[in-house]
Amino acid sequence: MSDARINPSILAADFVNMQADLARIANADFVHVDVMDNHFVPNLTFGPQMVQRIQETSPVPLDVHLMITDADRWAPGYAELGAASVTFHLEAAEHPVALARRLRQIGSRAGVAVKPTTAVEPLFDVLDEFDQILVMTVEPGFGGQSFLADQLPKLTRLYDEARRRGSQVWLQVDGGISESTIARAAAAGADTFVAGSAVFGAADPDAAIAALRARAASAHRH
């Protein structure tokens, strides 16, 4: 694998000084933007207007993670804002393959996410309909939670199936990612990592990103 992708989560950024915090992660691969509606998850963040402003000011592309109900209706709007990647939850989509195709048609990468209690096996036959599969290693809704190591076998099953099928799908992990957990996620098969406080809580976010990337790249399965 080439360098691991590190996507800092703005849930851990300073919302009042967002532009300044975004400037501190210019060496990230993407910025991870969590959209929550207080229905699908018990938290409320922001919607299209805020995402549009982040899009206009971010030095790196946007990786939007929609933790919202009725993804079929709302997800395409985020692709239309220019987000490089839009991920919706499998549990919140009536027609996930059709939605992924719509996102790609608009020009975004299409991702699908699964909660800790959701099996990944139903995705095996449609891997190439998605550009990214996100395995949550916390219950979605809040930053700063502890890493759920019992989700790592899901990543390994996805990795093995993708290899077997020759799929180029990215395997993303989100939740509790730090220097102490990223190697385990990489060893399980992840190649794209969402990190919040491990980046924005560091004195030097750029150095933290570089350290996470190096640690993941050295541990990744081959």
What is the end-to-end Cα distance of the chain in Å, rounded? 8
Per DSSP, what are the bridge partners of residue 37? 44
Which position among 21, 131, 174, 191 bears the catalytic label?
A: 174
Which position among 29, 34, 131, 191 bears the catalytic label?
A: 34
Whether 174 sits among the annotated catalytic residues: the reply is: yes
Provide the edge-to-edge strand list for the sheet that holds 5-8. Answer: 5-8, 192-195, 170-174, 132-136, 109-114, 85-89, 62-67, 31-36
Whether 34 sits among the annotated catalytic residues: the reply is: yes
What Rg, from alpha-carbon coordinates, does the chain have? 16
Q: Could you tell me if 25 and 18 are in contact, meaning their C-beta atoms sit under 8 angstroms apart?
A: no
Which residue, among 101, 175, 171, has the nearest Cα to 134 in the 3D structure? 171
d(C-alpha 28, C-alpha 155), whole Å = 22
Catalytic residue numbers, as ranges? 34, 174
